[in-house]
């Protein structure tokens, strides 16, 4: 479903954030991307919906090349959940934020209203629908950002540090939600226990490169490999 070939990206100041990455993600599978702060995880996943376009190398999603010309199609297929939910919520009312994407896609009105209500109810946000997103708690903002992506029914969902601002109960709720979603999923996280619970495969990034890729439980149980990449064993393996 996702094919990244020899992708490189440098910031205007010369920082090479992505260094010749090649990665494939199978349709309907769940891929985790782990690595220390600054490894390039956000820069990489911000390429998957065309937020950044490849400087070198290429990306294709479901056979569509990610380039300027195909951006409309890519936006329909890939839902990207930013690291900071404040970057996703920008209208004066939660409901309008969630309606923004489907409206832009030209979705049928009745279908849109049904989907929005379903997701807002499923995520316990329906009662909050008239609130300004700025007045929501961090956890509520996180689920609101999720709702705004899920109502567009993407074939691929990309999540950047989705547990960062969640308490244990909401974290568990998110695990259950993500595991119930059947589309292709890519998750960036340094919460390795979360990755353990939701990803079939995982890759480790370090300084813009992928240093290892494989089945989650195989990769995340290698203490030396993790430590060499400034990560620690998942808590469940530390006992």
Ligand X SMILES: Nc1ncnc2c1ncn2[C@@H]1O[C@H](COP(=O)(O)OP(=O)(O)O)[C@@H](O)[C@H]1O
Residues that bind ligand X (CB under 6 A): 11, 13, 15, 17, 35, 37-43
Running DSSP on this structure, what letter comes out for residue 116? H
CB 21 within 8 A of CB 210: yes
d(CA 201, CA 216): 5
CB of 163 to ligand X, least distance (A): 14
CB of 83 to Mg ion, least distance (A): 5
CB of 102 to ligand X, least distance (A): 28
CB of 70 to Mg ion, least distance (A): 25
Helix (H, G, I), strand (E, B) or coil at 216: helix
Q: At CA 221, angle to CA 213 and CA 35, rounded to 5?
A: 50
d(CA 78, CA 211): 25
d(CA 222, CA 233): 7
How many residues make up the chain in this entry? 239
CB of 37 to ligand X, least distance (A): 5
Nearer to ligand X, 40 or 102 (CB): 40
CB 142 within 8 A of CB 128: no
Nearer to Mg ion, 46 or 94 (CB): 46
CB of 42 to ligand X, least distance (A): 3
CB 45 within 8 A of CB 80: yes
Nearer to ligand X, 148 or 206 (CB): 206
Nearer to Mg ion, 51 or 119 (CB): 51
Q: Which does 224 bind (CB under 5 to 8 A by kind): Mg ion, ligand X, none?
A: none
Chain residues in the site for Mg ion (CB under 5 A): 41-42
CB 155 within 8 A of CB 77: yes
The alpha helices in the chain, defined as continuous H runs, are 41-45, 71-77, 94-104, 109-122, 138-150, 168-180, 192-198, 216-219, 223-228
CB of 27 to Mg ion, least distance (A): 25
Closest by alpha carbon to 2, among 210, 214, 186, 213? 186
Nearer to ligand X, 72 or 87 (CB): 87
CB 136 within 8 A of CB 144: yes
Q: Which does 192 bind (CB under 5 to 8 A by kind): ligand X, Mg ion, none?
A: none
Nearer to Mg ion, 151 or 191 (CB): 191
Nearer to ligand X, 118 or 165 (CB): 165
């Amino acid at each position: 479903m996702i094919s990244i070939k020899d992708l490189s990206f440098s910031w205007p100041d010369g920082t090479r954030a992505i260094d010749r990455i090649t990665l494939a993600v199978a349709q309907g599978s769940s891929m985790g991307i782990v690595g220390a702060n600054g490894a390039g995880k956000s820069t990489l996943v911000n390429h998957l919906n065309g937020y950044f376009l490849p400087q070198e190398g290429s990306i294709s999603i479901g056979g569509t090349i990610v380039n300027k010309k195909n951006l409309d199609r890519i936006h329909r297929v890939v839902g990207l959940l930013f690291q900071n939910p404040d970057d996703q919520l920008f209208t004066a009312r939660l409901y309008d934020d969630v309606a923004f994407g489907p409206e832009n896609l030209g979705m049928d009105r009745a279908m849109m209203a049904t989907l929005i209500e379903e997701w807002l109810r499923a995520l316990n946000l329906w009662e909050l629908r008239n609130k300004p997103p700025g007045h929501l708690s961090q956890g509520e903002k996180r689920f609101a950002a999720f709702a705004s992506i899920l109502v567009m029914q993407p074939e691929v969902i990309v999540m950047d540090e989705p547990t960062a601002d969640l308490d244990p109960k909401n974290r568990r709720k998110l695990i259950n939600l993500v595991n119930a979603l059947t589309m292709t999923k890519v998750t960036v996280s340094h919460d390795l226990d979360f990755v353990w619970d939701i990803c079939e495969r995982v890759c480790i990034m370090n300084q813009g490169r992928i240093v290892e890729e494989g089945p989650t439980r195989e990769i995340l149980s290698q203490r030396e490999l993790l430590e060499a990449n400034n990560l620690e064993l998942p808590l469940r393996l530390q006992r």
